Amino acid sequence: MQLSSTVDEKPEDILPTSLFGHLWETLNAFGGIGNSMTQNQNAVSQGSATAPILVTGGAGFIGSNFVLDWLATEGSPVINLDKLTYAGNPANLASVHDNPNYIFVQGDICDAALVASLLEAHKPRAIVHFAAESHVDRSIHGPEAFLRTNIDGTFTLLQAARQYYETLTGEAKDCFRFMHVSTDEVYGTLTPDAPAFHEDTPFAPNSPYAASKASSDHLVRAWVHTYGLPAIITNCSNNYGPFQFPEKLIPLMIANALKGKPLPVYGDGQQIRDWLFVLDHCRAIRTVLENGRIGETYNVGGNNQRANLDVVNTLCSLLDEFVPNSPYKPHTQLITYVKDRPGHDRRYAIDARKIQRDLNWFPQESFETGLRKTVEWYLGNAAWIEDVTSGAYQHWLTKNYASRESDHPAATMEVAR
């Protein structure tokens, strides 16, 4: 698949040409074929090595990274069900377009008949559920879509999975898993000195997005305990890395800085997030899928707590280094403070000791190494950014930021999730 750019100012005029490369080649170089598992194989991996998995939302940011990583490491077929909303991009998976082990189906997880037909036709050994509306600001402007996809969609999948599971026998039944990928935002917010979220932290969601994900987590738990569905939940911290849609903090800052646009920072920029490199998250999901206990929840974090303003300053320093001929150096001059998001959570932090202790998973990337690789990827794939930042995206930016007058004389940034 050939990606084209519609940039008015050609990025190669200011970017080193050596940074341009193919999407998957760069991603694979970032460790896409790594594997941190040391556990013995369990029922899932003991099942037929050729049995496929069904992935929902596999054209989105985390989902597409997972599909690429799975095909590179596991090799068994993937059926990718994605509605292709604004954040779903088939170009993310261009490198596997002709892979016989990759099947793409455009469709809605709320379509019960479609989901049932895919389960019947492909007989997957697992469902890995990423599909979700995931942007907090969008949930504030339009919560209906979040309730439909995150709650109704998860319910539809659970019902279909339950009915499919009841038809299985023997090894196929023993092997089947429903993997539900969720967020740390279900736990609410933390004070500066509070301990990190653990798996037994009570839910206290503070945005429509977080409430919808908390609801979906509760549904999954109920289907395990009421119907015996072999499901597992993961709750992750803020992801970053290749293919992230540039409404989120890190890719938005990179895209804006390269064009000399303001870098909008909410409030004082001291909101703290725990940052997790997306391929570390993919490895964690594979680890939980293959070795996790049914009915359990596993928190997945990167052990990298950073204030948003610190993240933006670090990005600016990296861009100064990687793009020495940029007319916008130093990029910190582009930082612009804007009015804070309504109900903005102050701090997230993940206690990931359970998955580390029980499943021997640990993140392989530090924030420094992961962020450097991420910046390199976006610099090397400027055409991808231009391709996804369409007119509809520009309309969204205007809608979200036009009413946010600058609070201070210097900073711009969108808080990831």
Residues 6+ apart with CB under 8 A from 311: 249, 250, 253, 273, 275, 371, 413
Token pair in block for residue 253: 């800052």
Helix (H) or strand (E) holding 281: helix 278-291
Q: Is 209 a catalytic residue?
A: yes
Residue among 69, 108, 133, 184 flagged as catalytic:
184
Residue among 185, 280, 376, 414 flagged as catalytic:
185
CA dihedral 13, 15, 21, 25 (to 10 degrees): -170
φ, ψ at 79 (rounded to 5°): -105, 120
Per the listing, tokens 């293919």 go with 243
User: Cα 26 from chain centroid?
Assistant: 18
Q: How far apart are CA 317 and CA 281, in angstroms?
A: 26
Residue among 164, 165, 209, 378 flagged as catalytic:
209
In three-state secondary structure terms, 277 is strand
In three-state secondary structure terms, 178 is strand
Residue 173 Ramachandran class (φ > 0 left, ψ -120 to 50 alpha, else beta): alpha
For the annotated catalytic residues, the residue numbers are 184-185, 209
